[in-house]
A and B are shown apart, each in its own frame.
Chain A
Amino acid sequence: MSSEHTAHTGSHHTEVENWNGASEPFKASYGKLMMWYFLLSDAFTFSAFLIAYGTLRFSMPTWPVPDFVFSGLPGGIHHKPLIFVTIMTFVLIASSVTMVRAVQEGHRENKKGVVFWMILTIIGGLGFLGCQAWEWTTLIGGEKMSITRNPFGTHIENGTYLEGDGHDIKAGDSFTKGSSYLIHYHDGHFQPLKYKTEGGEVKTQQMGPKAFGALFFFITGFHGFHVFSGVVFLLIIALNVASGLYARRNNKYEMVEKIGLYWHFVDLVWVFVFLVFYLL
């Protein structure tokens, strides 16, 4: 590192022996370096949330099966596990790709190109937020999940339903240990169903671990807020690009590169949110 450092300072600032703010350590500007360290600290924050999720999940006797919980699509389509969230993932990946293109056009000092690809990136970000809004609306408004309430339970033994719920379950349907259910909300109340175990006992469905709701809304909300902030910054920077501000700085649109780092990080975090919430 030291040799690169000297080589670097030697070529640009011959008068500077050590870094005193005039030359760049790691051959990266102050802004870019600090963006990296901000992202590192943000990665720790997200990791802490996801590790809390894992710890609580491990501590519970049951946990809602994600491909049961997340199986709806807009337009009243049900029982298509993980399809909607895969679409959301593609939207975010696509917006990451358009962001790379914006940075590349920035390196060529192509103002029009930068604006064009940044607008596409913003549209992708808004599309992702729209998907998330739909998902939250369904969970909060339709299924009545909240941060202290989780109607998604999991069976801990095999059995047979004694009554139907007017949706998918009919009296006499049997279920197996480990399968999840949703306790529907009607007429101002949750309506848990009665069922008979293989041993002949009659029991009633129980609500799921409520930590599930709190963790889901908090973690996807924190990520969604990152996406939202990213869209706001992208918008501001796109306007600055269009106004010619960065062209005058003559530094290959470094600001676009920095917001690009942030935007890719948001995509990176989603890779892990997608993994722990929806896949595992």
Chain B
Amino acid sequence: MSHLSYEESKKLVMKGLIILAIVTLAEVFVALLGKGYLVKDFHLPVWLMYILMIVMSLYKAYFIVYYFMHMKYEVPGLVKSVLLPTLLLVWAVIAFFTEGKTWHDWRAQKNDRPIGSLTGLVDEKAKDVKSSGHGTVDQKENQLAPAHQDTLTKKDEHGDHSNDAETKKEAPSHH
């Protein structure tokens, strides 16, 4: 079914190995460079980093599907029936990520209000609320960032003794 001769396809395999390896290395390079690991105090803008990595990953996916899985040599009907449905994922990504962002904003909003122990440390406004009222260290420790609030309360239920009073006692003694 391959439209290439044996020698040609062997060459394509080597080419594929080299391309995938190089693109992977490029992705890691962009990640490390962009996050400041390679050159001191140098960061790439996050959006640029993300676009580069996503485009490179999509290219790798294209190469694997078209050459390794021989999609390039299938009839158009087969190609369309397999690839077109994946376009639905574009909708899913947009819809769900928007939803996630909304949850994030709700959490932040909720933590603007000084209700109970839910005063968070998410943004400047929440910070002001906090620093105005409390004096001791102990009280401040109860004011958790929202994402972490339930982690600790849940641990209580599990009888995990790593929280609050106990850890406070033990942490300083350890070096």
Residues of the B chain whose Cβ atoms lie less than 8 Å from the Cβ of A94: 17
Residues of the A chain whose Cβ atoms lie less than 8 Å from the Cβ of B118: none
Residues of the B chain whose Cβ atoms lie less than 8 Å from the Cβ of A208: 147-148, 151
The reply on A148 being an interface residue by CB < 8 A is yes
Residues of the B chain whose Cβ atoms lie less than 8 Å from the Cβ of A33: 78
B6 vs chain A, min Cβ distance (A): 6
The reply on B39 being an interface residue by CB < 8 A is no
* Per-residue A-contact encoding for B139-152, CB less than 8 Å = 1, 0 else: 01100111110111
Is B13 in contact with A51, judged by CB distance below 8 angstroms? no
Is B145 in contact with A206, judged by CB distance below 8 angstroms? yes
Is A55 in contact with B99, judged by CB distance below 8 angstroms? yes
The one of A107, A190, A272, A275 that contacts B2, using a Cβ cutoff of 8 Å = A107
* Per-residue A-contact encoding for B37-73, CB less than 8 Å = 1, 0 else: 1000000000000100110010011001100110000
The reply on A226 being an interface residue by CB < 8 A is no
> Which label, helix, strand, loop or mixed, suits the secondary structure of the B interface?
helix
Select the stretch in A12-20, A132-140, A150-158, A229-237 that faces chain B: A150-158
Select the stretch in A97-105, A123-131, A240-248 that faces chain B: A97-105
The reply on A249 being an interface residue by CB < 8 A is no
Query: Given A61-B120, A93-B21, A264-B68, are A40 and B93 neighbors across the interface (CB < 8 Å)?
Result: no
Is A54 in contact with B96, judged by CB distance below 8 angstroms? yes
Query: Given A40-B86, A209-B147, are A279 and B53 neighbors across the interface (CB < 8 Å)?
Result: yes
Instruction: Give the total number of A-B pairs whose CB atoms are below 8 A apart.
Output: 217
A60 vs chain B, min Cβ distance (A): 5
Is B97 in contact with A193, judged by CB distance below 8 angstroms? no
The one of A43, A61, A202, A203 that contacts B146, using a Cβ cutoff of 8 Å = A61
Is B57 in contact with A272, judged by CB distance below 8 angstroms? yes
Query: Given A51-B92, A166-B174, A209-B147, are A28 and B78 neighbors across the interface (CB < 8 Å)?
Result: yes
The reply on B172 being an interface residue by CB < 8 A is yes
**Complex interface residues of chain A between 19 and 61 (CB less than 8 A to chain B):** 25-28, 33, 36-37, 39-40, 43-44, 47-48, 51-52, 54-61
Bound complex: CA A264 to CA B16 (Å): 12
Bound complex: CA A157 to CA B127 (Å): 11
Interface residue ranges, A against B (CB under 8 Å): 1, 4, 25-28, 33, 36-37, 39-40, 43-44, 47-48, 51-52, 54-62, 65, 67, 81-82, 86, 89-90, 93-94, 96-97, 99-101, 104, 107-108, 148-150, 153, 156-157, 163-166, 186-194, 199, 201-204, 206-210, 252, 260-261, 264-265, 267-268, 271-272, 274-275, 278-280
26 A–B contacts, CB within 8 A, in A order: A26-B75, A40-B82, A47-B92, A54-B93, A54-B96, A55-B97, A56-B100, A57-B100, A61-B104, A61-B147, A67-B32, A82-B31, A93-B24, A104-B6, A107-B1, A149-B155, A156-B122, A163-B172, A187-B170, A191-B171, A194-B172, A201-B140, A202-B137, A264-B68, A271-B57, A274-B24
The 4 closest A-B pairs by CB, nearest first: A58-B100, A59-B103, A55-B100, A26-B78
